[in-house]
Each structure stands twice: as structure tokens, then as C-alpha cells.
């Protein structure tokens, strides 16, 4: 340890579009942030080499003599956390069966740990968010898709092959909409951003605030427009927002009932819309939870913003380094 006791980790975040890196200290302060296009079609080796360079430039911001524990990588999945081997990742085409863990470790001469982005977001909340020290915490992201990360009894729940936490496919409404995977009435198919827009499109009347926001073209409707139009008094949009609150309440209520977390943290673009009517969302979750949650539910919105993935990656490194 340095005299101050501060440790450092290199953190990387790989999404289908962008990847980012930073040096993170044990208080969550970041330096040397960088971001480049992922370009997953160039293949995992090319991406790994470019990510290593991005991490290397972040590393240069470390103070002299800093204790650098290793590298944490947050990535879109699914993947096996021990080896970092991808398992048919939908947004990283051609990466199935491959890992960048050995090549990154060799390039940087540091241990590398890799985790699924939603699981690491949950981990970040237990260290840097509003629930420091929480032993049971669920993070649910509601945006283009719906995903989740689960910390139970202080451990990351990754499942037999790294596929745990797919809360987006919890059934919330049978006989309703299907997601891209094809399951009937799941959380993602009925409450993700594209799902909200789709439901509004089908109910589009061609008049009122929603039509004005979309320039009269239902194809242009986004979930954000639906929330805005609802606040402007559009009855169709209000109906879709009501349905969304109910669908989200069913999904989140099921998670409370199963895991009994100290904290259920939600984040993602759709949450910005849902947050406008926070009390209504809370009531919907309560209505779909067991009676023990009727007085209070441990629901919060994340305050870590876009940094959540890098913070989660850093915390993975701090945590695994302690266990070496
Ligand atoms: Zn589904």
C-alpha cells in the first residue's frame, strides 16, 4: 500500500458501440478517461489491442509509486466470468467462444478480471453508490433493453454459465408483446424504450401532443416523446405511461419477492421518464410485491450515471485482488 492507503485499478467498459477506460482510485475518483469506437466487427483481437492502448494511457495518470491492483473490464455479455469467454453475445458479433483476458493481461502485465456490465453496475452500487456495504442489491437497467445484475449474500450471482440476471425476460403480461428473443409478454418486450414507443405507435391517433412531438409521423415516436406527451396531457400517451408503470411494477415486485434485497436500484433512459412520477412507480411496485413491502420498498434510482460501468469494473478489480 502507498502511505495514503489509496489503491488504484484500471477500468474498461466495452459496449457494442463505444468502449471507455479510466484509472479509478479506491474512493471512486477517475483520471485519464478515454473513449473510442468499439468496432466489434474488426474482431476481438483488434479491439483488445486498442483497448489495451486506451488503458495504457489512463495508467499514465497514476501518481508515482501508486499501488495498481489490476484491470477490471465491464462488458456486454453474456460471458463466463472466470475466463471472460463470450457466449453468443448479440452486440459483439463473431466473438462467441473468444476471450481477451490473456491478451490484455499480457499487454498490460497486470491481472485482468472481466464481468458482465449489469452485474458490475450492481457491484458499483454496493461500493460507490447510495448503498455502500449492501449485501443484497439488484440493479435493473431499463433502456433499449432491460437487464439486471444481482448481488446476493455479498456475492455476484453469475449462474452456471454466466447467464444469470436476465431480468428483462421475466414475464409481466402474457398475451401482450414479444421481445426480440421471442418470449411472450416479458419485461423487456413490454417496458423497454422500444416497447413503449411501439405500444404508443399502435395507439397513435394522429392528433394531440404526441402527434405534434412526432411531427405527425408515428414511426418517429420515441419513449421520451411518450413521457413528454403524457405530461402535456395527451390521453393516449398517458395510457401508455400508466401501462409502463404497471409493467415495471410487476417486474420489480417479482424481484423484491424473490431476492429480498436491501436495495433495488434502477437506471437507464426509461427510468428518467419513470422518475417524473416516482410515487406512482413506488405504488405500482408495492401493489405487485408481498405484503411485507407495503409500508416501504427499497427502490431507488441510480446516481452514478454513465460512470457506473467503469466504477463497477474498478470495484471488480479491487475485490478480486483482495481475494488473490
Ligand atoms: Zn423476452
pLDDT of 218-234, one tens digit each? Answer: 999 999 999 999 999 99
297 & 312 share domain: no
For residue 3, the model assigns a pLDDT of: 46
CA of 176 to the centre of ligand 1 (A): 11
31 & 148 share domain: no
Angle ∠(136,139,140) on CA atoms, nearest 5:
140
CATH code where residue 283 lies: 3.30.420.40
CA of 67 to the centre of ligand 1 (A): 43
pLDDT tens track, the chain, 324 positions = 444 689 999 999 999 899 999 999 999 999 999 999 999 999 999 999 999 999 999 999 999 999 999 999 999 989 999 999 999 998 899 999 999 999 999 999 999 999 999 999 999 999 999 999 999 999 999 999 999 999 999 999 999 988 999 999 999 998 889 998 889 999 999 999 999 999 999 999 999 999 999 999 999 999 999 999 999 999 999 999 999 999 999 999 999 999 999 999 999 999 999 999 999 999 999 999 999 999 899 999 999 988 999 999 999 999 999 988
To 10 degrees, what angle do helices 235-259 and 223-231 make? 110
Dihedrals φ, ψ of 237, to 5°?
-65, -40
Q: What range does the domain containing 108 cover?
A: 7-129+306-322
Greatest extent of the chain over all pairs of C-alpha atoms, in Å: 66
How many angstroms separate the CA atoms of 117 and 10, rounded? Answer: 16
**Closest to 113 (Cα-Cα) out of 157, 71, 158:** 71
69 & 120 share domain: yes
DSSP string for residues in 3-70: TT--EEEEEEEE-SSEEEEEEEETT--EEEEEEEE--GGG-HHHHHHHHHHHHHHHHTTSPTT-EEEE
Q: What is the pTM of this model?
A: 0.93
CA of 51 to the centre of ligand 1 (A): 31
CA of 170 to the centre of ligand 1 (A): 7
Q: How far is CA 101 from the centre of its chain?
A: 21
Q: Is residue 2 part of a domain?
A: no
CA of 37 to the centre of ligand 1 (A): 28
Q: How far is CA 309 from the centre of its chain?
A: 8
CA of 65 to the centre of ligand 1 (A): 49
Bridge-partner residues for 23, per DSSP? Answer: 10, 31
Amino acid at each position: 500500500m502507498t502511505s495514503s492507503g489509496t489503491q488504484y485499478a484500471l477500468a474498461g467498459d466495452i459496449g457494442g458501440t463505444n468502449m471507455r477506460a479510466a484509472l479509478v482510485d479506491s474512493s471512486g475518483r477517475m483520471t485519464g478517461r478515454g473513449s473510442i469506437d468499439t468496432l466489434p466487427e474488426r474482431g476481438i483481437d483488434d479491439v483488445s489491442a486498442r483497448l489495451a492502448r486506451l488503458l495504457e494511457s489512463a495508467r499514465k495518470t497514476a501518481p508515482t509509486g501508486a499501488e495498481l491492483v489490476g484491470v477490471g473490464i465491464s462488458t456486454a455479455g453474456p460471458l463466463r466470468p472466470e475466463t471472460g469467454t463470450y457466449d453468443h453475445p448479440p452486440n459483439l458479433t463473431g466473438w462467441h467462444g473468444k476471450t481477451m483476458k490473456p491478451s490484455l493481461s499480457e499487454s498490460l502485465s497486470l491481472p485482468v478480471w472481466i464481468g458482465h456490465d449489469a452485474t458490475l453496475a450492481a457491484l458499483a452500487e454496493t461500493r460507490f453508490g447510495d448503498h455502500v456495504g449492501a449485501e443484497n442489491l439488484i440493479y435493473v437497467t431499463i433502456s433499449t433493453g432491460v437487464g439486471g445484475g444481482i448481488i446476493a449474500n455479498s456475492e455476484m450471482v453469475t449462474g452456471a454459465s454466466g447467464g444469470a440476471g436476465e431480468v428483462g425476460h421475466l414475464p409481466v403480461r402474457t398475451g401482450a408483446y414479444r421481445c426480440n428473443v421471442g418470449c411472450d409478454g416479458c419485461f423487456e418486450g413490454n417496458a423497454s424504450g422500444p416497447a413503449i414507443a411501439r405500444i404508443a405507435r399502435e395507439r397513435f391517433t394522429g392528433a394531440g401532443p404526441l402527434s405534434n412531438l412526432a411531427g405527425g409521423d408515428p414511426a418517429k415516436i420515441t419513449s421520451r416523446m411518450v413521457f413528454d406527451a403524457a405530461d402535456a396531457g395527451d390521453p393516449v400517451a398517458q395510457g401508455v405511461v400508466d401501462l409502463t408503470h404497471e409493467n415495471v411494477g410487476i417486474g420489480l415486485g417479482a424481484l423484491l419477492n424473490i431476492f429480498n434485497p436491501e436495495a433495488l436500484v434502477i437506471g437507464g433512459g426509461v427510468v428518467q421518464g419513470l422518475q417524473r412520477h416516482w410515487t406512482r412507480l413506488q405504488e405500482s411496485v408495492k401493489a405487485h410485491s408481498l405484503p411485507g413491502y407495503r409500508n416501504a420498498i427499497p427502490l431507488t434510482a441510480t446516481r452514478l450515471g454513465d460512470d457506473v460501468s467503469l466504477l463497477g469494473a474498478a470495484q471488480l478489480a479491487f475485490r478480486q485482488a483482495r481475494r488473490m
